[in-house]
Amino acid sequence: MTPLRARRVATFTATLTATLTATLVALDACAYRAPAQTPPAAGPRAGVRVALLTKPVSFQILEDYDAGDDLHDVARDFALFRDLGVTTWRGGISWLEVEPARGQFQLGWIDRFAALAADSGITLRPYVAYTPAWAVTPDGAGATAGATAGPAAPTGETWHDPPRRLADWTAFVDTLARTLGRHPNVRSIEIYNEENTTQWWSGSAAAYDSVLAAAATTIRRVAPRLQVILGGMVWPDSAWTVRACRSTRVDIVPFHAYPETWTPDSVTLETYLHDFGYARFLPAERTSCAGAPVWINETGFATLPGKTEQDQARWWARAVATFLAEPAVQEIGIYEIKDLRSSAPAIGGAPNYHLGITYADRRKKLAFETLRTLVRLLGTTTLTLGDPQLDVTVRSGPEPEGRRMDGPQVHVFLRPDGRQVVIAWDRAGPVVLDLRLPRAGRTARSFALDGTSTSLSGLAGRALRGLAIGAGEVRVVEVDP
CATH number at residue 472: 2.60.40
By C-alpha distance, which of 318, 324, 354 is closest to 339? 354
**What confidence tier does 142 reach under pLDDT thresholds 50, 70, 90?**
very low
* Residues 476, 376 share a domain: no
Sign of CA dihedral 345, 350, 352, 356: positive
* Confidence at residue 452, expressed as pLDDT on a 0 to 100 scale: 98
Give yes or no: residues 360 and 439 share one domain: no
pLDDT digits (tens, 9 = 90+) for 418-472: 999 999 999 888 999 999 999 999 999 999 999 999 999 999 999 999 999 999 9
Does an H or E element contain 245, and which? Answer: none
Residues ≥6 apart with Cβ < 8 Å to 22:
149, 150
Does an H or E element contain 113, and which? helix 108-119
Residue 407: which pLDDT band, with cuts at 50, 70 and 90?
confident
Cα dihedral 119, 122, 128, 133 in deg (nearest 10): -50
pLDDT score of 111: 98
Check residue 16 and give its pLDDT: 56
So what's the pLDDT on residue 371?
A: 98
Amino acid 158: pLDDT: 87
Which CATH number characterizes residue 16's domain? 3.20.20.80
In this structure, are 467 and 330 located in the same domain? Answer: no
**47-65, pLDDT tens digit by residue?**
466 899 999 999 999 999 9
Helix-helix angle 309-324:366-378, to 10 degrees = 20
- pLDDT value of position 4: 53
User: What DSSP designation does 204 have?
Assistant: -
The pLDDT tens digits for 314-347 are: 999 999 999 999 999 999 999 999 999 988 755 4
- Are 179 and 161 part of one and the same domain? yes
Residue 384 phi/psi, 5-degree rounding, is -105, 130
Write the CB contacts of 108 (distance below 8 Å, at least 6 apart in sequence). none
**Residue 351 — very low, low, confident or very high, per pLDDT cuts 50/70/90?**
confident
Q: What is the pLDDT of residue 429?
A: 83
Instruction: Looking at 45-99, list the stretches that DSSP marks H as alpha helix, in order from N- to C-terminal side.
Output: 71-84, 95-98
Specify whether 395 is located in the same domain as 371: no
315 lies in the same domain as 343: yes
Query: Are 378 and 404 contained in the same domain?
Result: no
Please give the single-letter amino acid code of residue 60: Q
pLDDT over 50 (residue 11): no
Q: How far apart are CA 383 and CA 53, in angstroms?
A: 8
In terms of domains, do 323 and 414 share one? no
Q: Are residues 376 and 455 in the same domain?
A: no
Q: Percent of the chain scored above 70 by pLDDT?
A: 83
Count of the separate structural domains present in the chain: 2
Would the pTM of this model clear 0.75, i.e. be above it?
yes
Distance separating alpha carbons of residues 345 and 336, to the nearest angstrom: 19
pLDDT of the residue at 143: 34
Among the listed residues 293, 27, 278, the one whose alpha carbon sits nearest the alpha carbon of residue 149: 27
Last residue of a domain, one of 347, 382, 417: 382
Contact criterion met (CB below 8 Å) for 257 and 299 = yes
Question: Is the pLDDT at 146 greater than 80, yes or no?
Answer: no
Question: What confidence tens digit (pLDDT) does each residue in 79-130 have?
Answer: 999 999 999 999 999 999 999 999 999 999 999 999 999 999 999 999 999 9
Say what the pLDDT of residue 1 is: 33
Which one of 351, 382, 413 terminates a domain?
382
Verify that 378 and 463 share a domain, yes or no: no
| The amino acid at 125 | R
Look at residue 406 in the predicted model and tell me its pLDDT: 66
Looking at the structure, tell me whether residues 314 and 451 fall in a common domain: no
Structural domain range at position 451:
386-480
Q: Is the pLDDT of residue 305 over 70?
A: yes
Q: Which residue among 333, 354, 382 closes a domain?
A: 382
According to DSSP, the residues that pair with 129 across neighbouring strands are 94
pLDDT score of 286: 94
Residues 189 and 332 in one domain: yes
Torsion sign across C-alpha atoms 107, 110, 116, 122: negative
Please tell me the predicted confidence (pLDDT) of residue 13.
47
